[in-house]
Amino acid sequence: MGVTRACGLIGISRSLYRYQAKRPADQELRERLCELAAQKRRYGYRRLHVLLCREGWEINRKRTYRVYHEAGLMVRKRKRKRIAGGERQIKVAPSAPNESWSMDYVSDGLADGRRLRCLNVVDDFTKECLAIEVDSSLPGRRVVSVLERLAERRGLPKSVTVDNGSEFAGKVLDEWAYRQGLRLSFIQPGKPQQNAYIESFNGKFRDECLNEHWFVSMRHARQVIEDWRQEYNSQQPHSSLGYLTPNQFAGSFLTAESMSFAD
């Protein structure tokens, strides 16, 4: 039986019978995607897609996802401690850089069993990580020292959101903040969701830095953590900023602001 008759019997055209999909070759894209995924082990396909576009790949997100899925690169979700649901309070979102910051501690350990504490400071608007202070103990005086260092570099915000830990609620920080005219905004005990900006950052910090490294000494921990902080600010695309990096977003906002003043 001829092809024409066979196609007529089943109700399709000869062109459809002879059609061959012209899907672009994905081998080179797959190799590069695997390389990036090996370097950024906790990046999902959206952030990897941004990195590919930065390198000049002219691809859409659907193709990235298809190759990403076929290569088996999906990030395994780590189990997270459930936080009891509480009454949600409306938090006024900042409208400019340096308007409000958030601070919190994250704990980890060194290879020899010693405790490691990190004081994280984040700008709520730009999502920049302004500082990560690392030591075995970080009392109120060290918190003041970190804030003084940041004040010299970029000035102080109107308020800093903190929890009710002894370092934040102690006399040393309270007196210093009063002299500086800085308002300490305390969340309600047991409700970390009221400090959402820093909690979101802490999750990324633990997932992409602390859980990915084995710190052999305090010096090693400080170096690795500071390298990650610099990369977070300058290279990591942030979904809430339209996949700009925090540094890019802060720069674009300041540029737009200066242009509006010029007009």
Asked whether residue 107 falls in the same domain as residue 49, the answer is no
- pLDDT in the model for residue 263: 47
Asked whether residue 28 falls in the same domain as residue 142, the answer is no
pLDDT at 120 over 80: yes
- Note the pTM of the prediction, 2 decimals: 0.74
pLDDT in tens, 33-47: 888 888 888 788 888
b (16+ CB within 10 A) / e for 44-60: ebebbbbbbbeeeeeee
- pLDDT in the model for residue 90: 44
Asked whether residue 40 falls in the same domain as residue 140, the answer is no
Task: Reduce the DSSP state of residue 136 to 3 states and report it.
Answer: coil
Q: Does any domain span residue 85?
A: no
Asked whether residue 42 falls in the same domain as residue 127, the answer is no
- pLDDT in the model for residue 21: 60
Mean pLDDT of 205-221: 95
pLDDT at 110 over 90: yes
Query: Which residues have C-beta within 8 Å of that of residue 111, sequence separation ≥ 6?
Result: 214, 215, 216
- pLDDT in the model for residue 190: 83
Mean pLDDT of 82-93: 48
* Residue pair 150/130 in contact by the 8 Å Cβ criterion: yes
Token pair, residue 166, equals: 């002894």
pLDDT at 124 over 90: yes
Asked whether residue 34 falls in the same domain as residue 108, the answer is no
- Residue 244 DSSP code: B
Going from the C-alpha of 173 to that of each of 156, 161, 177, 188, the distances in angstroms are 14, 13, 6, 18
pLDDT in tens, 52-73: 998 998 899 898 999 888 888 8
pLDDT in tens, 161-207: 999 999 999 999 999 999 999 999 999 888 888 889 999 999 999 99
Q: How many Cα atoms sit within 13 Å of 53 on the Cβ side?
A: 14
Domain span holding position 62? 24-76
How confident is residue 79, by pLDDT bands cut at 50, 70 and 90?
A: low
For the chain, what is the largest distance between any 2 Cα atoms, rounded to a whole number of angstroms? 95
Could you give the number of structural domains in the chain? 2
Task: Reduce the DSSP state of residue 74 to 3 states and report it.
Answer: coil
- pLDDT in the model for residue 87: 40
Query: Which residues have C-beta within 8 Å of that of residue 153, sequence separation ≥ 6?
Result: none
Mean pLDDT of 138-147: 96
Residue of 78, 67, 79, 63 lying closest to 37 (CA atoms): 67
